[in-house]
Amino acid sequence: GAVPGKQVSTDPFTPVAPNRRDALTVPAGYRLNVVAAWGDPVVPGAPAFDVYRQTPEAAAQQFGYNNDYVGVISLSTTKALLVCNHEYTNEEVMFPAGEYTAEEIRRIALMSHGMSVLAVERPTATAGHWVRSASSNVRYNRRITGETPFVVDGPAAGHDRLKTSADPTGKRVLGTLNNCAGGTTPWGTVLSGEENFNQYFGTAGAIPATHAASYRRYGISASSERGWYQTWDRFDLAKEPNEPNRFGWIVEVDPLAPDEPPVKHTMLGRFKHEGANIAIAPNKKVVAYMGDDERGDYLYRFISTDTYRSGTDAASRRHNKQLLSKGALYVARLTGDGLEDGVWDGTGQWILLCTDTVSNVPGMSVADVLIDTRLAADKMGPTRMDRPEDVEPNPVNGRVYAALTNNSNRGSSYPADEANPVTRSMVRSAPGAELTAASGNRNGYVLEMQPVGGHTGGTFVWRLLLVCGDPAAPETYFAGYPKDKVSPISCPDNVAFDSRGNLWVSTDGNVIGSNDGIFRVPVDGPHRGKVESFLTTPIGAEACGPLITHGDRTVWVAVQHPGEGGTFAEPIGLWPHTHRYPRPGVAVVWKA
């Protein structure tokens, strides 16, 4: 499985050992700072946070809950804008019992979703240490919530299936929900994926038969733990059956244009979008890689019709912000070349679903392909993957890396194939406990795809770079690197690259006896596959981001749902230890 490549030098650090601490643990010699956490003021004039006096109006001005994607847009050598997603809310940890009505909790929760844009700065042009700006550039500070108006664009904009009684145009949606991972575009905007949007919808009434098949494929059902339909008609499937069609998109936000409404791009399809990451092909077309995070769902690719302009002038930026509106959408099929060669590898092809004017799916219009992308892809024979999460092109070596988190049903309801080979995994229930066998793929993979003919080509060569888990487990594989020299890793979720092309992976849902964390993996040279744990997140949390910026001096990490598994009254963790309850927050880590 070795891939020739140049030697990649890496700064040495002592890997962080697996642990269950209530701490963000970094290697010796590194420091950290929490840049922003739940409740911090974002919009100028925002009220101070008080956990006992939460209101929707205050939440709409403060840093939201459960930060996930982290993007950083440079303004100068010492100033930048931090952009991050607020994926979902943990009401059981956010609200003291008995202090709020169910209605109040829903209204505050809606405003605690969305995104934040926040001015940040560092003391010198070489520092790794970033803090929130108190006054500089705060005019860019912005909260996008579950009620912020979005413009819908692309071929499905204005389609009857996107119209509701509140929006007869089908082109204006209130809010973004469950924004998971994302990507920063070469033109300086941020893309964000609307992921598990199904959970916000429900009804006490009847689901219209016309919508049932689509709802089923997206996991939308009458029952809803959140009960938002009791507060807002638009979340009631019987009353507004088209409202779910207005979520599940890639959204684009321009942090430099705080007054411009963010956009939902229908051309990139509708599914449980993890994120979208862009490469510019040699012909200047824009290629976006995407994953649909569900067991057995697919990898996708978009290619723009128009070409990228490299200028940063207003006209070029305006042009580039329309690149995701027209193009072609593809889904991936992976074919193995057999296991005789001892590696999980093979070839892949991108199957066209539609362009902005022509559908390639029998019996479905362009708008139907884009709104019911899962149903469209089902007809075209793609490969059912183990929860495709972040998919990102490596800007140094040109290959594309996908995190495939896990699939406990692989080998039962999902037959194994060469790209999804693990049907039995070794797991452990607690730190230091014995490894025991569990059915399915519990620890996930990192998939490496090498485009043939560049990012706009029709095919690729693929191989599993990592079969994750404890190195002591027989099924694990680290690109052939000696197993006694790697850190255990479980459930890869997000991927990023440093300036030398090293892969960084964050995890969600470790099942081998440790908190989640962030890992560095060289993908070229003699240390290809050498997984090293750079940090671990606090108890209950998953590690999000990650982002490596500014000459690799700064590692950004979003600590999502610290203390999840506890309640406000009985917390299992209190990170970042500023209050008597945990707070999701974005931290920077740098070498002292």
Task: Return residues touching ligand FEO (CB under 6 A).
Answer: 87, 180, 195, 274, 293, 389, 493
Give which of ligand FEO, Ca ion, none residue 194 binds (C-beta under 5 to 8 Å, depending on kind): none
Q: Is 87 a residue that touches Ca ion (CB under 5 A)?
A: no
The contacts of residue 313 (CB under 8 Å, 6+ apart) are none
- Choose which of 254, 345, 386, 498 interacts with Ca ion (CB under 5 A): 345
**Residue whose token pair is 């959970």:** 199
CB 159 within 8 A of CB 165: no
Q: How far is the CB of 545 from ligand FEO (least distance, A)?
A: 12
First-to-last CA distance in the chain? 37
**Binding segment for Ca ion among 75-83, 178-186, 277-285, 369-377 (CB under 5 A)?**
178-186
Q: How far is the CB of 493 from ligand FEO (least distance, A)?
A: 6
Strand ranges (E), 52-171: 67-74, 79-86, 114-121, 131-132, 142-144, 149-153
Q: Is 233 a residue that touches Ca ion (CB under 5 A)?
A: no
Could you give phi then psi for residue 4, rounded to 5 degrees?
A: -65, 145
Output the residue with the shortest Cβ distance to Ca ion.
508
CB 507 within 8 A of CB 491: yes
**Residue whose token pair is 């995994």:** 425
Could you give phi then psi for residue 246, rounded to 5 degrees?
A: -95, 5
Q: On the CB side of 559, how many CA atoms lie within 13 Å of its CA?
A: 34
Nearer to ligand FEO, 23 or 180 (CB): 180
Nearer to ligand FEO, 114 or 346 (CB): 114
Q: Is 180 a residue that touches Ca ion (CB under 5 A)?
A: yes
Q: Is 297 a residue that touches Ca ion (CB under 5 A)?
A: no
Q: In which element (H, E) is residue 409 found? A: none
Nearer to Ca ion, 266 or 506 (CB): 506
- Residue 173's nearest CA partner among 157, 189, 154 is 157
Q: Going residue by residue from 315 to 344, which x/- string records binding to Ca ion, judged by CB under 5 A?
A: ----------------------x---x-x-
DSSP label of 345:
E
Nearer to ligand FEO, 293 or 418 (CB): 293
CB 22 within 8 A of CB 575: yes
Could you give phi then psi for residue 573, rounded to 5 degrees?
A: -160, 155
Nearer to ligand FEO, 40 or 294 (CB): 294
Q: What is the C-alpha separation between 369 and 373, in angstroms, rounded?
A: 5
Give which of Ca ion, ligand FEO, none residue 337 binds (C-beta under 5 to 8 Å, depending on kind): Ca ion
Q: How far is the CB of 543 from ligand FEO (least distance, A)?
A: 11
Could you give phi then psi for residue 101, rounded to 5 degrees?
A: -80, 165
Q: How far is the CB of 212 from Ca ion (least distance, A)?
A: 28
Q: How far is the CB of 289 from ligand FEO (least distance, A)?
A: 15
- Residue 185's nearest CA partner among 308, 273, 315 is 308
Nearer to Ca ion, 313 or 340 (CB): 340
Q: Is 194 a residue that touches Ca ion (CB under 5 A)?
A: no
Q: Is 236 a residue that touches Ca ion (CB under 5 A)?
A: no
Give which of Ca ion, ligand FEO, none residue 195 binds (C-beta under 5 to 8 Å, depending on kind): ligand FEO
- Choose which of 252, 493, 498, 524 interacts with Ca ion (CB under 5 A): 493
Nearer to ligand FEO, 254 or 294 (CB): 294
Nearer to ligand FEO, 59 or 181 (CB): 181
**Residue whose token pair is 């066998």:** 437
Nearer to ligand FEO, 475 or 542 (CB): 542
**Would you mind telling me the total number of residues written for the chain in this entry?**
592
Q: How far is the CB of 273 from Ca ion (least distance, A)?
A: 10
Give which of ligand FEO, Ca ion, none residue 243 binds (C-beta under 5 to 8 Å, depending on kind): none
Q: On the CB side of 29, how many CA atoms lie within 13 Å of its CA?
A: 7
- Residue 505's nearest CA partner among 412, 432, 404 is 404
Q: How far is the CB of 226 from ligand FEO (least distance, A)?
A: 16
Q: How far is the CB of 271 from ligand FEO (least distance, A)?
A: 11
Tokens of 385: 């993957």
Nearer to ligand FEO, 274 or 386 (CB): 274
What separation in angstroms does the CA of 19 have from each of 177, 438, 465, 516, 536?
Answer: 32, 22, 25, 9, 8
Give which of Ca ion, ligand FEO, none residue 11 binds (C-beta under 5 to 8 Å, depending on kind): none
Task: Tell which positions 91-110 bind Ca ion, by CB under 5 A.
Answer: none
Give which of Ca ion, ligand FEO, none residue 87 binds (C-beta under 5 to 8 Å, depending on kind): ligand FEO
SS3 of residue 453 by DSSP:
coil
In degrees, to the nearest 5, what angle opens at C-alpha 153 toward C-alphas 372 and 332? Answer: 40
Q: How far is the CB of 387 from ligand FEO (least distance, A)?
A: 7
Q: How far is the CB of 338 from Ca ion (least distance, A)?
A: 5
Nearer to Ca ion, 26 or 404 (CB): 404
DSSP per-residue string spanning 107-136: HHHHHHSEEEEEEEE-SSTT----EE-SST
Pairing of strands 459-467, 114-121: unpaired
Q: Which positions lie near Ca ion, rule CB under 5 A?
A: 180-181, 337, 341, 343, 345, 493, 508
